[in-house]
Structure 1
Amino acid sequence: MIIMKFKETDTEEIVSLFYKTVHSVNLKDYSQEQLDVWATKEEKESKINSWKISLGQNISFVAKINHKVVGFSDLTYDGYLDRLFVHKDFQGQGIASALVDMLESEAKKLNLLEIYTDSSITAKPFFKHKGYNIVRSQTVERKGVKLTNFKMRKKLKS
């Protein structure tokens, strides 16, 4: 596995990975209706365009195995870990940990004091294992459908 900085040419593969991962890995914690509003297939083209911009503006990394995108993650310059997704067929292989370690390293270089995120139910145990603490449970609404997630944060040591 290699981890590299995000390139615009990876965007379509990243968005496809996002849809497949949400609709398979998160199925154990969310209903089909919730998954359909979280990762709406009709929004795929607009998501490719918007993510090309946002991933390009953030600190973004892509994990690849044999030139195939198997994970990605990004961090805003104020310390918000926006996205962290690992391909459904590559779960539990240390990819998410490697991506988060890279983001935390970059955050320390920027002298950020903490990283915060909105974690899915599915990702909560991972973030807890990585030293993130739950700030609160929260309910977000998308297209009239409620989803539970968790505001989490980790204080960084210099």
Structure 2
Amino acid sequence: MIIMKFEEADIEEIVSLFYETVHSVNLKDYSQTELDAWAPKEEKKSKIDAWKISLGQNISFVAKINDKVVGFSDMTHSGHLDRLYIHKDFQGLGIAKTLVDKLEDEAKKLNLFKIDTEASITAKQFFEHRGYNTICSQTVEREGVKLTNFKMIKNRFLIWVFL
């Protein structure tokens, strides 16, 4: 597996991975109606254009195996972990952990004291195992459909050494 910074050339593969992952991996925790609202296929073109900009502005990484995008993640410069998606056929291989490790390393370089995210029901346990704490359950509305996710935060503590 190779982890690299986001390149615009990967955007269509990234957006396709997003749709496939939401509609397969998240199916165990969300209804089909919820999934269709979360990732409506008819907005794929506009998502390609919008994500090309946002992934380019954020701290964004892509995981590849044999030149195939198998995962991606991004975080704003203020520490909001926006997206983390792993290809449906590559779940459980440590790709998400590796991508989040990279983002957390970048957060340290930026001297950020916390990282926050809005985790799906499906991703909540992953983030808990990574030291993120649930602040609250939230209901967000997409396309008139209510979806549950969790506001989560990971604090980085400073250790002061007095000499």
**Normalising by the residue count of structure 2, what TM-score does the alignment of the two structures yield?**
0.96
CA distance in 2, matches of 1:50, 1:68: 22
Trace 1:83-122 onto structure 2 (pairs within 5 A): 83-122=83-122
Superposed displacement of residue 145, structure 1: 0.5
Unpaired stretches in structure 1, ≥5 consecutive residues: none
- The secondary structure found in structure 2 opposite 1:134 is strand
What amino acid does structure 2 have at the position aligned with 1:73?
S
Deviation per CA, 1:57-99, whole angstroms, max 9, x where unpaired?
0000000000000000000000000000000000000000000
What amino acid does structure 1 have at the position aligned with 2:133?
N
1:3 is aligned to 3
Trace 1:45-56 onto structure 2 (pairs within 5 A): 45-56=45-56
CA distance in 2, matches of 1:123, 1:41: 22
Unpaired stretches in structure 2, ≥5 consecutive residues: 159-163
1:26 is aligned to 26
1:138 is aligned to 138
2:82 is aligned to 82
What amino acid does structure 2 have at the position aligned with 1:151?
K
Deviation per CA, 1:23-79, whole angstroms, max 9, x where unpaired?
000000000000001001000000000000000000000000000000000000000
What amino acid does structure 2 have at the position aligned with 1:62?
V
Q: Does residue 14 of the first structure (1) align with residue 19 of the second (2)? A: no
What amino acid does structure 1 have at the position aligned with 2:46?
S
Superposed displacement of residue 157, structure 1: 4.0
- The secondary structure found in structure 2 opposite 1:131 is coil
1:72 is aligned to 72
- The secondary structure found in structure 2 opposite 1:103 is helix
Structure 1 segments of 4+ aligned residues over 6 angstroms from their partners = none
Identity over the aligned pairs, expressed in percent? 75
* Paired positions, count: 158
Larger of the two Rg values belongs to structure: 2
**Normalising by the residue count of structure 1, what TM-score does the alignment of the two structures yield?**
0.99
CA distance in 2, matches of 1:123, 1:26: 9
The alignment's C-alpha RMSD in Å is: 0.6
